A and B are shown apart, each in its own frame.
Chain A
């Protein structure tokens, strides 16, 4: 079997060439390998390839349309992964998890991966998606009554909104709040200002958190 690094190179090359079918066939090849776990595929293939493309990490020249094209390819890859996620799922914990992004936050892929991780870890997971208004977040929390609420923030501007939301949540809330995403881990002062129960950056972080909760 090819190494994850070789697959990453092929996948990014296909993204660079705007060749979706090639990228997806590379990913399917990787997905079919039982050596490569879902977190591995996400954390060593999909996420870095997106960062590679994303304009805010490398040179400014990459146009937004290309970034969107790459996102769409990665989204397809994620959809293709879901059956595998269900197959690999650990014994159910009986706990519910709610995953979403804040209002005006359109970068949902991170949240999507997080949702899959939580599913893998045996949570009953509800992924609401990008750009969720606060009112709807509160309604969803009421409706699902989750044990874990997971918020992903990619753009650091939305940290302010995250702060606002957390302040609005009741003091003794009946769920654990986990925040993560690019902005949470690449900005100063987040842990001082944003009082979440956990800060997660990877599948391993979530695993530790799960142990802490249960």
Chain B
């Protein structure tokens, strides 16, 4: 089976006057349905790498392929569509829209997709909220929920369009250890049931040691890359 994510010789340089190179010739291939952890010190370039994989950022040099499609040259709006349909994001600061309820936040990627909101979607959204344990607070405004609830909302939102890839940047970064455990189990469960590919940045040893593959980024290069066999 081919790789769902394929980076070859990806470099990223920020700035024009003062140039800062963040990534150096990174080659990275991620297999479908795998559960991958990315670790590295802050400033190592791991978030930039994830953002490039997620097409939020463009590489300065090199090629990026998502789901078999070259993305480094794509137009902004095409990338937006690709993100909407193929990639779910879970960020450390859950990034919900505070003006909308948890339920509306979960459905937002679906609305953006521009398809009908029918009973099937309504059921799916309810199911996902059930899955992440948020049935009770789904009509709360996102701004009025606890950190754990917001993070779980963000996870349900990342799943709503059935993306093939979920990218998470410190998804449990500011949660207590018990919630972290719950969230992690949830992600792993989704990975198994829905065969979603996960790439997770984490500094949390308990999460990292349970992934199928650990990729360590150091000074903009892949420093370690171990997979279980």
Determine whether the beta carbon of B226 is less than 8 Å from that of A159: yes
Majority-rule SS of A interface residues: helix
Of A30-38, A71-79, A182-190, A205-213, the one contacting chain B is A182-190
What chain B residues lie within 8 Å of A157 (beta carbons)?
205, 208-209, 214
Interface size counted on chain A using CB atoms at 8 A: 14
What chain B residues lie within 8 Å of A160 (beta carbons)?
39, 214, 216, 223-224, 226
CB nearest neighbor in A for B210 = A157
Contact flags B197-229 to A (C-beta < 8 A → 1, else 0): 000000001001100001010000001111111
CB nearest neighbor in A for B212 = A156
What chain A residues lie within 8 Å of B224 (beta carbons)?
159-160, 163, 189, 193
**Which positions 73-124 of chain B face chain A at CB distance < 8 Å?**
none
Tell me the complex Cα distance, A173–B69, Å.
Answer: 48
What chain A residues lie within 8 Å of B223 (beta carbons)?
160, 163
Determine whether the beta carbon of A187 is less than 8 Å from that of B228: yes
Tell me the complex Cα distance, A104–B206, Å.
Answer: 11
Contact flags A125-163 to B (C-beta < 8 A → 1, else 0): 000000000000000000000000000000111011001
Tell me the complex Cα distance, A190–B226, Å.
Answer: 7
Contact flags A83-108 to B (C-beta < 8 A → 1, else 0): 00000000000000000000010000
Known: A157-B214, A160-B39, A160-B216. A188 touches B205 (CB 8 A): no
**Which positions 165-194 of chain A face chain B at CB distance < 8 Å?**
183, 186-190, 193
What chain B residues lie within 8 Å of A156 (beta carbons)?
209, 214, 226, 228
Q: How far is the CB of A130 from chain B (nearest CB, A)?
A: 15
Chain B interface (Cβ < 8 Å from any Cβ of A) = 39, 205, 208-209, 214, 216, 223-229
Chain A interface (Cβ < 8 Å from any Cβ of B) = 104, 155-157, 159-160, 163, 183, 186-190, 193
